[in-house]
Amino acid sequence: MTKHWVAAAILTASIITGAPAHAQDFPARPITMIVPFAVGGPADITGRIVADIFTRHLGQRVIVENINGAGGTIGAQRAARAPADGYTIFFGHTGTNALAPAFYPDIAYDPQKDFEPIGLTAEYPEVLVVRKEFPAKTLSEFVAYAKANPNKLNVGHAGVGSVSYIGCLLLNSAMGIKPALIPFTGTAPVLNAMLVGEIDYECDPVLGNLAQVRAGTVRALAIASKKRSPMMPDVPTSHEQGLPEFDFAVNYAAFAPVGTPKPIIEKYVAALNKGLSEEGVQKRFAELGAEIAEPDRRGPKPLADLMRSEAARLLPILNAAAGK
Ligand code: MLT
């Protein structure tokens, strides 16, 4: 059944009954939330917290389906084409819903036109992490080593257009180097490869490697922000260390396929708002190093505005960094 057919059926039923069909009873069965990256990484961890919020506040199970590949664009494409009946939603980020399409000329979805925004959930700064034995202890030592040995370096990322790819693109272009970029289905497998020494460095939202940084099995050299992360207070920022071009925060957010009835979107918005206001959820996000979306940044409009403004702000920089 196509999305357009479902939308037409819903519209017809609404006209006959005078009420949006399905919306009152929604949700009457379990919901699928597509997370477009590997299990155990930042998108998955954050997405599962959000799936739990929806499960509790909508009264139906929200099942996470990890559909990986191509920097999250395969999962995004699948979600964009799903029936717009509220039973499939998407958990995306600044990559999938603002920046990634710029890297794929033939991409089959439009991040702005093919999704209904539900709301922003949490924002994390990125951090530069190196393998334990990497011969640099500070960002300036890292830059000196990387410039002298660009051909020896392997950078891990979650696919072209993912936020780990974009963060290190900003870093590498600020250093003027083009090391080998090795794609994975998410940054959880990148981290595993770094633990066995196959990957030299990655750029990932702080929650992705918090446990390993604390355990000392990898080292964090710079927070890509003006502000230190309370979860890694000893790690200086890129700005403090003289590399302000490496500045990137990742916003994770929920979306539905375009055409999803407004009353259903409103149920999601209300459920997310309740969840983000809960003390337990706020504590969990704080422990992961996230800034939770404050009330004035919640809901569809702030999310749509943010994705548009991030695209406008970063695409020229990324195109220049990619040599376009
Ligand atoms: C992940 O969740 O695996 C990554 O953070 C995704 C990404 O780098 O965009």
The structural domains of the chain, ordered by start, are 18-123+250-321 (3.40.190.150), 125-223 (3.40.190.10)
Mutate to test the pocket of ligand 1, among 45, 157, 187 (most ligand atoms within 8 A of CB): 187
Task: Quote the pLDDT of residue 16.
Answer: 41
CA of 75 to the centre of ligand 1 (A): 13
- 3-state secondary structure at position 233: coil
Task: Quote the pLDDT of residue 22.
Answer: 65
Q: Is 92 in the pocket of ligand 1 (CB under 6 A)?
A: no
Residue nearest ligand 1's atom 3 by CA: 186
- Judge whether 199 and 192 are in contact, CB under 8 Å: no
Mutate to test the pocket of ligand 1, among 129, 162, 166 (most ligand atoms within 8 A of CB): 162
CA of 320 to the centre of ligand 1 (A): 22
- Judge whether 189 and 198 are in contact, CB under 8 Å: no
State which residues of the chain have pLDDT below 70: 1-22, 324
CA of 156 to the centre of ligand 1 (A): 11
Task: Quote the pLDDT of residue 75.
Answer: 97
- 3-state secondary structure at position 278: coil
Task: Quote the pLDDT of residue 101.
Answer: 78
Has this prediction a pTM greater than 0.85?
yes
Integer Cα distance of 173 and 114 in angstroms: 31
| Alpha-carbon distance values, 76 to 50, 66, 102, 163, 173 (Å) | 17, 11, 14, 14, 27
Task: Quote the pLDDT of residue 2.
Answer: 47
Integer Cα distance of 170 and 251 in angstroms: 17
- Judge whether 184 and 37 are in contact, CB under 8 Å: no
Task: Quote the pLDDT of residue 321.
Answer: 74
Q: What pLDDT, in 10s, does the model give residues 67-115?
A: 999 999 999 999 999 999 999 999 999 999 999 878 998 899 999 999 9
Task: Quote the pLDDT of residue 317.
Answer: 85
Q: Give the atom of ligand 1 at the shortest distance from the alpha carbon of 37.
A: 3
Whether residue 189 is preceded by a cis peptide bond, meaning omega within 30 degrees of 0, is: no
Which among 218, 212, 208 is positioned nearest to 187, based on CA atoms? 208
